[in-house]
Amino acid sequence: MLKTISRFIANYKNYFVYLSIAVISIVLINFNDNPKLRQIKVLGLTNFAIVNYSIDAVMDFFRSDKEINSLKYQNAELMMQVNLLRQNGFENKKLKELINLADTSKFDLVPANVVSKLITRTQGSFLLNKGTNDSIKTGMPVIDEKGLVGIIAEVTSEFSVCKTIKNSTLSIAITIQRTNVDGIMNWDGKELIIKNIPTTYDVIPGDRIETSDFSTLFPPSVPVGIVLEKKANALGLLHNISVKPFADIDGAENLFIVRYISNVQAIKLKNRFKESKN
């Protein structure tokens, strides 16, 4: 073993001597503050940086495309997984709110899913996966965990059509909770509007809106939305109030049908009262 080492040193002693001298020279240069040597050091470092950058550029050019594609594939997978986790988190939060509503509501609620959405500018309707087999009837309100969504307009054995509040044919009797101002809310194709509220009435943006005690379609005190803004009409005596709904109508997926039918006798009495006035 010693002979092998001695032979190796003997064969390459010139290289060892040269390497040792080079190392000692570099160390001495590094500790020497001579201006000429400082210029040499700067020039050497600059040349080394240029050579190193060139080598890295060549290595990047010849780097395997498979490696790059593999990294891109892993990034894409991670992006999809993160997005899925976010979506699951959002759905989990929403389902918890729905479960809490079902547990605390005084009404009999039937969970329903939106099968399809039949939406035009003025006619918004959902097809739900509950029907007469689930004791669903025409006239039952539909809500989500935040507020009113619409009303059941048609029913088959397994499905039902919900006419949403973004349907121009649906008029809703509402009350502004803070001041008990009553009105009728409609969809005008662009926004929910409560028309012809006197300017003397106390209504401000942010006021909470709910279904009225006088409603013949919905139970009272169902959350509807908030006052977004007031718009004076041409005469300046009345306001049209735009409403921001609590319910996410456009993004609705999981809903509740409320097993509630309005008082038929009250409707008949109202119709008789109208006929007597005419």
Predicted confidence (pLDDT) per residue in 229-260, tens digit: 988 876 778 889 999 999 989 888 889 998 88
Q: Which of 121, 162, 187 is nearest to 255 (CA)?
A: 162
* DSSP 3-state of 120: coil
| 8 Å CB contact between 200 and 160 | no
Domains located in the chain, CATH noted: 1-38 (no CATH), 112-262 (2.40.10.350)
- Percent of the chain residues topping a pLDDT of 70: 55
DSSP code per residue over 243-265: EEESS-STT--EEEEE-----HH
Q: Residue 222 pLDDT > 50, yes or no?
A: yes
Q: Which pTM does this prediction carry?
A: 0.59
The closest of 226, 256, 258 to 244, measured between CA atoms, is 226
Q: pLDDT tier at 37 (50, 70, 90 boundaries)?
A: low
Spatial separation of the C-alpha atoms in residues 253 and 10, rounded to whole Å: 84
Phi-psi region of 39 (alpha: psi -120 to 50; beta: other; left: phi over 0): alpha
Between 50 and 122, the higher pLDDT residue: 122
**Tokens at 267, concatenated:** 């409707």
Residue 11 has pLDDT above 50, yes or no: yes
Least confidently predicted of 16-30, 139-153, 234-248: 16-30
Max distance between CA atoms of the chain, in angstroms, equals 128
Residue 90: what pLDDT?
A: 59
Comparing 113 with 41, the larger pLDDT belongs to 113
Cα-to-chain-centroid distance, residue 84: 13
pLDDT of residue 112: 92
Cα dist from 224 to 121, 130, 146, whole Å: 20, 23, 8
Q: Which of 129, 93, 137, 84 is nearest to 111 (CA)?
A: 129
* pLDDT for residue 126: 94
User: Per DSSP, which regions of 36-190 are E strands?
Assistant: 109-119, 124-128, 141-143, 148-155, 160-164, 172-176, 181-187
CB 109 within 8 A of CB 136: no
Reading the block at residue 265, the tokens are 């006798």
Contact residues for 195 (Cβ-Cβ < 8 A; gap 6+): 183, 184, 186, 238, 240
Q: What are phi and psi of 210, to 5 degrees?
A: -140, 170
Q: Residue 95: CB partners within 8 Å, gap ≥ 6?
A: 254
DSSP-derived secondary structure letter, 1: -
